Structure 1
Amino acid sequence: MTTDKPAELKRRLGLFDSVTIGLGAMLGAGIFAAFAPAAASAGSYLLIALAIAAVVAYCNASSSARLAALYPQSGGTYVYGRERLGAFWGYLAGWGFVVGKTASCAAMALTIGAYAWPAQQHAVAVAAVLAVTALNYFGVQKSAVATRVIVAIVLAVLTIVVAVCAFGPNAATGFGSGTADVHGVLQASGLLFFAFAGYARIATLGEEVRDPARTIPRAITTALAITLVVYVVVAVAVLAVLGPDTLATATDPLAQAVSSAGAPALAPFVRIGAVVAAVGALIALVLGVSRTVLAMARDRHLPKALDAVHPKHAVPHRAELAVGAVVAVLAASVDLRSAIGFSSFAVLFYYLVCNASAWTLGRRQRWVAATGAVGCIVVGLSLPAESIVGGSVALAIGAVAWRFTRA
């Protein structure tokens, strides 16, 4: 006897592991990859840009958390948009997430290469993608355990950075000065949003979380709050030591801040921490993208062959292998800063659909959803022109693909 019931994932993740996966995604992306390009846009007003990005992220997180409690399935906003707005908007949100987060995966892999072996950045990035894909293939619990270790190491390294910047021989002197540029601050907010978007990883793993209606909202808000505190403390420390101009041009800003503060012997440890953080972010990113691919394959928006769960490891193994292959190709060919901007635009569209979906839940959620939606639009349209054009083209391709698949 056969059945058409889709294969199901196993609920293995509790609150601690869910928070850890969110932290692993956000800390790796923000601290080591996004601060320098954001400083180039906002200058000494980097902290204002960080605050704007945090407000948009909070609204998005609130909408995500409430929707995840109602729809505890793999796929995140792809599922929410489908259920609340219609199949097309769910599909386009899922498409934006897959495209944007695939670019994020490449950005994290390139960050690993830049810190570990700058002369062979792309080769190291490809090797990292292959290793992370293999790890995720053998089960989400193994990925969660690895992320616990990574988050602990990263937090220890960041503590050292802040302590040296605050109390080192050449400790903090001031933030510098500059003239406010509204567009520059908003553009920096868009780049920094890339650093906050990791909390969505918890929602996309909804089918693997125990007691999702309770666990997912708590995990999202907890991970976001911890990350914001860490970002603010580190941003203040690094800005005070390097100043906005030096920070904007630094390829390894935290290591450079430690050296400038008078402890160059600790710089190699900071670089190791950067590699570890980026690995943690890459693990969580590949987890989230592969689960959204699984959800879209179940609905025939992606090849049906990707709708498969490994009988032993209980993971969407074909989706993970497909995502790993695409990310490896991107990691071998794209530029880090371009990947960040492109990813931010696509993911901001994803959250625009999320907030629109949350708007339909009733008055209680509407002011948060409206604030998040407006924030996504304003910040997204403030990104560099090439990011806007590239992201718009990618979404248009997705819409055309929808038309043909429906036909």
Structure 2
Amino acid sequence: MAELKKTLGFLPLIALGVAGVIGSSWIYTNSAFFEQYGAGGMIFGLAIGTLLAACVALAYAELTTLFPRAGGEVVYSFTILGRPASFLTGWMLIGAYVSSLAFYVTAFGLLLGKFMPVMEEHPLYSINGEAVTAPVLIAGVALTLLLFALNWWGVEVGAQVQVVLFAAMVVIGLALVVVGFAAGSPGNFWPPYAADHNALTDTLRFVVPGMTYMAGFGLVAVLAEDADLPPRRIARAVIWTVLLAGTFYCLVLLSSAWVMPWEEVAGMKLGTIDAFKAAGFPVLGWGAFAIAILGLLTSFLGLFIATSRVVVAMARAGLLPAGLARLDARRGTPRNALVFTVVVTLALGWLGKAAVVWFLDTGGIYLGAVWIMVVLAKYALPRRYPHLAARRRLQTSWIPAVGALGAALVIVMALWPGTGISLVWPAEYLILGVWLGLGAILYAVSRSLPREEALDALLGEYADTLVEGAPEASRGTRP
């Protein structure tokens, strides 16, 4: 079985991971969250959500040291939990990633439209009460095709672009933080909660949304086969992705509540963007807007690459058509999987933001299910492969279970009406049911490979390590 070309170093992998997690809307919708939860509720709740995501990341890291292969979660669940669990995991991942990708198709143009009125001209059609205009659709389709082209010749091109965009995001973020804290006052932030609100309640209410802010950190594990790194360094990259992304979120949000009284920021239209403009730093206000654009581009790019790798893994295991696992002989790129990704993205993306948000809102359920499956695989490993469990370099005991409980809470709150992140009845419940039903049909008609054959395709050289007494794969023993 051909393997993906190993071209990613540690920095590109971190850039794909961290920048893939950091989205765009948080930096201008934080005003609404400040109003609802207080600056303290949003920031401290996000910090707790980050720690819970880090608990799950420990399970990812532990399994990545053993199975650093494309598809990450698909590989762990197939190897340890079996074929049905692996299909569920992969199908949930595709659902979550494609929902975000489709959202970005029109979100890019709509974000530009906040300061470019031309994007709102020439409406083509309206779905779910929102018009889709020609400039918005053209911009989104062009961006999608550009990302497709960047990855057609190999992940290293897209990774280099990601590093540049990530560096720009970090520089602008640091400027916001330095100026915000230097020019602002702790009195603007303190007290961080509204006088008539309960601080503990407001903080806990944002923990679940905070966990969803960290969605996407698993793409580091998904890209493990592309990395020219020892498994232990890939595992560390998973954990660093969560911690760095969470820190970036919290510091930038705190700077906007420091440079201006957060109660005033709560009444602004564009959150951090307007806060720095009102504080007398219009250039940094535009910088915050640039972070929104950069966050969208980097998330789009990271998830686009990751989706193709999930498709490859599922195809290798016989969970999707085998042709989707085929790699270009010379470049080692999954071109069929990339075509699949771009087709599905555009097939949903034309629906527009207001309709695609239905798909996007179900993503928390999908990712919550994936996190739970990874943690279950971590705890099932000693029973299935006790000799591999003994080799684990990260002994994390009970900590990942805490993260899994948080993921379960995400699912419960999304399904339970009236929680603030509940699915919208009936559209989003219907979409969830259709996605699960379609997955059940695909699983029923998929070609079941002999387990040994599927494991050989999924694990490559690491398949031998499943046999007790076998040496570790040569790449796994690199220092």
TM bracket (short chain): 0.7 to 0.9
Matching residue of 1:97: 93
Matching residue of 1:361: 381
Instruction: Point out where structure 1 has 5 or more consecutive residues left out of the alignment.
Output: 1-5
Contact kept? 2:59, 2:378, Cα under 8 Å: yes
Which letter maps to 2:440?
A
CA displacement 1:129-186 (0-9 Å, x = unmatched): 2211111112111111111101110011112222343344899723451524988755
Say if 1:131 and 1:245 are closer, same or farther in 2 by CA, change over 3 A.
farther
Which letter maps to 1:81?
S
Q: How far apart in 1 are the matches of 2:153 and 2:263?
A: 43
Q: How far apart in 1 are the matches of 2:318 and 2:29?
A: 35
Bigger mean CA offset, 373-382 vs 231-240: 231-240
2:221 corresponds to 1:206: no
2:409 corresponds to 1:378: yes
Q: Any idea what SS the aligned residue of 2:151 has?
A: helix
Bigger mean CA offset, 51-60 vs 287-296: 51-60
TM superposition shift of 1:235: 1.7
Matching residue of 2:295: 277
TM superposition shift of 1:309: 1.1
Say if 1:61 and 1:271 are closer, same or farther in 2 by CA, change over 3 A.
same
Matching residue of 1:9: 4
Which of 149, 167, 170 is 2:164 aligned to?
149
Which of 41, 44, 48 is 1:48 aligned to?
44
Which letter maps to 1:319?
A
Which letter maps to 2:378?
A
Q: How far apart in 1 are the matches of 2:381 and 2:342?
A: 36
Matching residue of 2:112: 116
State the TM-score, normalizing by the size of structure 1: 0.88
CA displacement 1:230-257 (0-9 Å, x = unmatched): 111112122343636855874x433222
Q: How far apart in 2 are the matches of 1:295 and 1:210?
A: 18
Matching residue of 1:342: 362
Q: For the aligned residues, what is the CA RMSD?
A: 2.9
Say if 1:37 and 1:132 are closer, same or farther in 2 by CA, change over 3 A.
farther
Say if 1:343 and 1:48 are closer, same or farther in 2 by CA, change over 3 A.
same
TM superposition shift of 1:338: 4.4
Bigger mean CA offset, 298-307 vs 387-396: 387-396
Q: Any idea what SS the aligned residue of 2:331 has?
A: coil
Q: Any idea what SS the aligned residue of 1:381 has?
A: helix
Structure 1 outlier segments of 4+, above 6 Å = 169-172, 181-184
Which letter maps to 2:86?
G
Matching residue of 1:3: none
Contact kept? 2:105, 2:141, Cα under 8 Å: yes
TM superposition shift of 1:28: 3.3
Say if 1:30 and 1:271 are closer, same or farther in 2 by CA, change over 3 A.
closer
Which letter maps to 2:170?
L
Which of 263, 273, 285 is 2:281 aligned to?
263
2:143 corresponds to 1:128: yes
Instruction: Point out where structure 2 has 5 or more consecutive residues left out of the alignment.
Output: 115-119, 121-134, 383-388, 390-394, 415-420, 449-479
Q: Any idea what SS the aligned residue of 1:382 has?
A: helix
Identity of aligned residues (%): 22
Q: How far apart in 1 are the matches of 2:216 and 2:99?
A: 13
TM superposition shift of 1:311: 2.5
Which letter maps to 2:112?
A
State the TM-score, normalizing by the size of structure 2: 0.75
Q: How far apart in 1 are the matches of 2:411 and 2:182?
A: 38
Contact kept? 1:19, 1:219, Cα under 8 Å: yes
Matching residue of 2:65: 69
Say if 1:111 and 1:185 are closer, same or farther in 2 by CA, change over 3 A.
farther
CA displacement 1:176-217 (0-9 Å, x = unmatched): 515249887556433333331232111101111124422211
2:10 corresponds to 1:27: no
Q: Any idea what SS the aligned residue of 2:51 has?
A: helix
Q: How far apart in 2 are the matches of 1:315 and 1:366?
A: 37
Equivalent pairs counted in the alignment come to: 401
2:200 corresponds to 1:159: no
CA displacement 1:90-144 (0-9 Å, x = unmatched): 1101100001011122334444323323424444233222211111112111111
Structure showing greater Rg: 2
Contact kept? 1:112, 1:274, Cα under 8 Å: no
2:340 corresponds to 1:322: yes
Bigger mean CA offset, 206-215 vs 373-382: 206-215
Whose helix proportion is higher, 1 or 2? 1
Q: How far apart in 1 are the matches of 2:209 and 2:106?
A: 16
Contact kept? 2:268, 2:275, Cα under 8 Å: no
TM superposition shift of 1:277: 2.5
